[in-house]
A and B are shown apart, each in its own frame.
Chain A
Amino acid sequence: SAVISQKPSRDICQRGTSLTIQCQVDSQVTMMFWYRQQPGQSLTLIATANQGSEATYESGFVIDKFPISRPNLTFSTLTVSNMSPEDSSIYLCSVQTGRSNNEQFFGPGTRLTVL
C-alpha cells in the first residue's frame, strides 16, 4: 500500500475562517478522495480529487465550501471554507493505487475543531 501523510494532524479554528488540509502520497496514484467522519459516524465521501480537472463532488457537498486541488498524481488539498462548528470532524484523504479490486488506503486524518 502507499504511504500517505496529512497536514495538519489537528487544528482548532475560529468560526468563519478557512483551513487547507494537505495530503501527500509517496507514489503516483490514480485516484484520490476526501472523506469526512463526524463524531460517532462512519465515513462520508466528500469528493473525488481529479488530477488536472475539477473535483467531482458528492451530493450535499459543493466546491465553494470544500474547494479541492490536485496539481499532480501525489498531492491534493482540501479547503474547508467559512467554517462553522458543524464542520468539526475528522477529514481523511484516501488513495486507490489501481492495482486491484478498488481497495482504498487512508491517510492518518486531520481532526478539526471549530469554535
Chain B
Amino acid sequence: RKEVEQDPGPFNVPEGATVAFNCTYSNSASQSFFWYRQDCRKEPKLLMSVYSSGNEDGRFTAQLNRASQYISLLIRDSKLSDSATYLCVVNCADSGAGSYQLTFGKGTKLSVIP
C-alpha cells in the first residue's frame, strides 16, 4: 500500500468554483501534515501546514482526520493562478531518518479554466 495516496486528477474547474482534494496516509504514527503546490517545471512550495483542529488561510482550508488518516484541502473562489499540482505531504516520525523525513503523494493536478 502506498504511504500517501492522492487522486491524480486532473480537476478542471471554472474560475470561482470551489474544489476539494483528498489524501490518505498509511502510517498512523505520522505527526506533521502539509500541502505543497508545485507549478510546472518548478520546485514544490509550501502552501500550508495542516493542524489537528483544521486551519484556514484565506481561500484555503485544510482539515485533518487522524482516526481515518485523511487530509483534505478546500479551495474556494478558484483563481486562474491556482492552477498547479497540489502535493499532500506527511511526516513519518518513525522513519529511518528520524522525525524529519517527509513522504510525498504524487499530487493532484488542478486546472482552473476561464
Contacts and interface: CB of A to CB of B under 8 A. Distances in A.
A41 B44 CA distance: 13
A43 B32 CA distance: 17
Contacts of A33: 100
Interface in B81-114: 87, 91, 96-97, 99-102, 104-107
B107 A42 contact: yes
A63 interface: no
Interface string B38-63: 00011111100100000000000000
Given A42-B105, A106-B43, A108-B42, A101 B97 contact: no
B98 to A, nearest CB: 8
Interface residues of A, number: 24
Contact of B99 (A44, A59, A102, A111): A102
A92 B102 contact: no
Interface of A: 1, 31, 33, 41-45, 48, 56, 58-59, 92, 96, 101-109, 111
Given A58-B101, A103-B49, A104-B100, 13 more contacts: A43-B87, A44-B104, A45-B97, A48-B97, A56-B96, A58-B97, A96-B100, A103-B34, A104-B46, A105-B46, A106-B43, A108-B42, A111-B41
